Chains A and B, each alone.
Chain A
Amino acid sequence: MHIIENGNVAAALGVLLCRVNVIAAYPITPQTPLTERLSEYVESGEMQAEYIPVESEHSALAVCIAASSAGARTFTATSANGLLYMHEQVQWAAGARLPIVMCVVNRAVGAPWNVWNDQQDSISQRDTGWIQMYCSDHQQIIDAVIKAYWLAEKVSIPIMVCYDGYILSHTYMPFDVPDQEKVDAFLSPFRPDYALNPDQPANLNTVTLPDVRMDVRGELAHGYMEIRYLLQEEMRTSLTVAAEAEKRFADIFGRGGDPYIEPYLCADAQYIAVGLGSLTYQLRVSVDVLRKEGIKVGVMGVRFYRPFPDEALAEALKGKKGVIVFEKALSYGYEGALVSDLKSALYDHLAGTGVMPMVQNIILGIGGRDIRTEDLTQALRAAAKSRVSRQPVWIGLKL
């Protein structure tokens, strides 16, 4: 059924449909309406779940870690400084291989204090061992939450479903809310290999030595390094599992596409804009304008940021004249994190082949600075003419 609602409600409905057992969250703008909505579902009995109010984001994720360890399907959500406050537990959840799903409603981080959108918060969590998915509209938000539970539980890796604060979280648009029966057909109840059980007590993630050890049964058990290696290995193979999730989803719900990237008019394009989230949809409007001017441009949305779809991106971008990476975050002291990752992928797959595109970086929309479509069009037009700068170019800056 199609409804018109905001992005936070789309996320909440996804959580409702996934029959999540435990929700623990601390309100922070612009995530607040999402957790409020979930607490209403629980209060009204519409959702059979424990809603555990906590005193901080750190505690919210700690509750999810405990509940997930006990075999519950768990959910939390946060933004910006809340995510940063969670950081220690974020790393823990990944090392513990718990399939927690968390919505990150992207917002700028302080200082200075700012409640508006950019993507510095989730990008700063890039190396924590969580899968990161980025959404461009409300349909992608609700669908991503549903896919995320399936994928997370399949690969035992937690997932951040990231969507732009306000631009998506507070904006209303139509989207389809899938039937409960279809979601149930897609997603079985969570059955972990081991769940905390008084009859089979276990210590989880206690001090784990640098070297391997004999366990109580006399079997050779992992050391810290093996456990971390396996996280990396299975993060990489989760790309394949994500493709399986996408196909399964498409079979049941009748929509879906490329699981990792979302190209628009890329096939014959000479220049391609690349980005994460709603910005890549706005860029489609600029692409349409420039196409009418005869400039062959396209736009590529990156839906999975971790694991990074290096091969798919290199394949899609090979032979292009230029790639322009638009980012609402950066790695201070160098450039946007996405552009660095992308260049690394291009080097890995295309070095020496003579089909390596030139890469430029544009930083914009920091702290909710307006992103005018005209400015995007102008930036893309200029970048398609010639390389503007080796350094990231900031647009919308009034310095």
Chain B
Amino acid sequence: MGTRNYRRKTSHSEHGPGDGGRTGSWRVERPVLNTSLCIPCKRNAEACFMCWLFCPEVVISRTIPPAIDLEYCKGCGICAEECPTKAITMVDEADFTDEDKDKE
């Protein structure tokens, strides 16, 4: 099956999970959020959201607490780098059990 009937003539991609495939499996380190340091969590108010703003894969939600979609998170670590209170740490994927992984 080819792309003859595809509705575009150009390279056109829409945002949304999965445009680049299931990229969560690419991860070497996983971002883990400490809600006691996270600004919106502490204040229980819409604030900061630097992780949401900087995530290049748009897998962090603008919610309290921010949720990270591990199905597509590639583990780039930009959120941890940008978080002003160091509420996100990158943890080796090997530290998570298969059970943890199934829960993702």
Contacts and interface: CB of A to CB of B under 8 A. Distances in A.
A contacting B, Cβ–Cβ less than 8 Å: yes
Interface string A190-226: 0001100000111111101000111111011111101
B13 A156 contact: no
Interface residues of B, number: 18
Contacts of B6: 219-222, 226
A231 B13 CA distance: 19
A203 B56 CA distance: 13
A202 B14 CA distance: 4
A355 interface: no
Interface residues of A, number: 31
Interface of B: 1-3, 6-19, 21
A375 to B, nearest CB: 47
B9 A156 contact: yes
Given A205-B10, A216-B19, 20 more contacts: A193-B8, A194-B8, A194-B12, A201-B15, A203-B12, A204-B11, A212-B2, A212-B3, A216-B13, A216-B14, A216-B16, A219-B7, A220-B1, A222-B6, A222-B8, A222-B11, A226-B2, A226-B6, A227-B11, A230-B9
Contacts of B8: 193-194, 221-222
A147 interface: no
Nearest to A222: B3
Contacts of B14: 200-203, 215-217
A97 interface: yes
A289 interface: no
B10 A227 contact: yes
A205 B2 contact: no
A297 B11 CA distance: 49
Contacts of B17: 216
A234 interface: yes
A96 interface: yes
Given A220-B1, A220-B6, A205 B18 contact: no
A97 B3 contact: no
B13 A206 contact: yes
